[in-house]
Amino acid sequence: MLAVIRHFHEGMRARVRTDDGQYSEWFDVGQGLRQGCNLAPLLFNLFFAAMLKIAVAEFDKDPKVTADMVKIGTQVEYTGKKGRSAGKKTTVVTDAEALWTMLYADDAAIVSRSPESLEKMMSVIVRVAGLFGLMVSEPKTEIMFMLPKGIGERPFTVSAAGQTYKQTDRFVYLGRTISADGKADREITSRSCRAWKCYRRNSASMYDRRRADRQLQIRLLQAQVVETLLYGCASWSLTAERYTKLNGTHRQFLTWCIGWSKRKRSDRPMSHAPALIQAGCEETIEATVRKRRLCFAGFVIRMEDNRLPKRMLLGAMAGGRGIPGRAGERLGVSSRRGPRGLQHGRRKGRGEIERERQGPGGVVQQGRGRGDMVHEEMAQAGGGSVREAPAREGSRSREYGHLGTEEKESRGSGGGGEETATGHC
């Protein structure tokens, strides 16, 4: 098999096609892989893994570098039984695994707790990559310092093998804008700008044509523009303000497609709910994001326990401090709380949950969040009453009906109150 692969790549020749349609002379290809070949990604992954194996062996020789690596493990709670620790809960992270790099093809993100260790790691990577005929691009390599809340930022430089990398407060990795504060504000702004560029690309030929089929316009808008807007939304940390911004951008796209405009200066802009009704859209941007977060969390949770994505999502960091912000915004914390944790940003008491689940006429429903309020507004705009809004909410309530039963049984058995209810979700 190795001989077949070797003969397949030996003696490769290529030529370049210019803009005027002419071809250059044939020349020999001494290194590289065939683009578009099914073997290319497999061979490169094996080649890159061999290089990283040598780099890891070099890291292990320096205890400082190993100690500063970020470690992800399983969070376990212990309750003391003797002495002063009796009844007190202690959280311990066990089975910690070092996470020092994130790879995708030839892109790599190196992680460390200190600038000194990061500089040593980069020096090793540059030196080992040179042994394999690879080169680390200095202009494309950037350094970002992520600090806990309350600690001031300090400038620093990282140099490796004659290369000096600049410091930045954000960088783009696989199309995602990653900020030093860990928030998604800049990412949402970037996605909105990209969505508008995508919209204007076909505005003259499709979206601004009044005689074009509206259903075709909306389908193209959802398949092209909205997908550009929501790229990577499964891992966003979103609040009500960010959902409002996304819904506002979506509303502007819809109003342009349906041809709505103010007739008078005193006219109020069309709200999101009537725009959804006229466009024939089934769900809001917020509902789409929440659904994708649930699907992504379910996909990771169904993985085997030794898979790194599952350990990162459901595990805990050994030592250090977590990312600042509300726990409900972070996907990992919300996933450990179950489906309800992914729907609500804060934990509510039993009485508050029961009052919210008590709908019109004493009918038990899931709870009135922002999505339910938009559904009611859509029902009112469509001519129906709030009590008639919409029939799918009832089915969704029946789907989550077993959760309420398990909560009551857990509380009745003398469990830990709200903690027990959350654990059964």
According to DSSP, the residues that pair with 93 across neighbouring strands are 75
The CB-side HSE value for 336 (13 A sphere, CA atoms) comes to 18
- pLDDT tens string 60-110: 888 888 888 877 777 666 676 766 667 666 666 666 777 777 777 778 888
The whole-number pLDDT of residue 197 equals 92
pLDDT in tens, 195-229: 999 988 888 888 877 778 888 888 888 898 999 99
Task: Check pLDDT > 50 for residue 394.
Answer: no
Mean pLDDT, the chain, as a whole number? Answer: 73
292 and 282 Cβ atoms separated by less than 8 Å: no
The token pair that represents 42 in the structure block: 């497999």
Report H helices in 29-159: 39-59, 63-67, 115-131
- Dump pLDDT digits (tens) for 160-169: 878 888 888 8
Cβ 237 vs Cβ 183: under 8 Å: yes
Residue 191 has pLDDT above 60, yes or no: yes
Quick one: pLDDT band at residue 387, thresholds 50, 70, 90?
very low
- What is the pLDDT averaged over residues 121-135? 88
User: Among positive and negative, which fits the CA dihedral 50, 51, 56, 58?
Assistant: positive
Q: What is d(CA 160, CA 104) in angstroms, rounded to the nearest whole number?
A: 22
Across residues 6-20, what is the average pLDDT? 84
Query: Of 231-240, 301-310, 354-363, which gets the smallest average pLDDT?
Result: 354-363
Kindly tell me if the per-residue pLDDT of 360 is higher than 60: no
Of residues 157 and 286, more confidently modeled = 286
Confidence of residue 371 (pLDDT cuts 50, 70, 90): very low
Which residue has better confidence, 112 or 392? 112
Summarised one tens digit per residue, pLDDT across range 174-188 is: 888 888 887 888 899
Q: Pick 396 or 33 by higher pLDDT.
A: 33
Could you say which DSSP state residue 225 is in?
I
Q: What angle do CA 342, 343, 344 make, to 5 degrees?
A: 100
Structure-model confidence comparison of residues 422 and 351, the more confident one: 351
Structure tokens at 146: 């992520």
More confident residue, 347 or 71: 71
| Whether the predicted pLDDT of 159 surpasses 70 | yes
pLDDT at position 88: 67
Quick one: which of 400, 421, 419, 401 has its CA closest to 409?
Answer: 421
**Could you tell me which of 236, 249, 245, 241 has the C-alpha nearest to residue 199?**
249
In angstroms, the CA 276 to CA 284 distance is 8
Spatial neighbors of 425 by CB under 8 A, at least 6 apart, are 337, 338, 339, 340, 341, 403, 406
* pTM check: above 0.85: no
Single-letter amino acid code for the residue at 409: E
Measure Cα distances from 110 to 52, 93, 144 in Å: 12, 23, 10
pLDDT confidence bin for 262, thresholds 50/70/90: low
What pLDDT does 280 receive?
A: 83
150-159, 250-259, 286-295, 404-413: range with lowest mean pLDDT? 404-413
Q: Return the pLDDT at 332.
A: 55
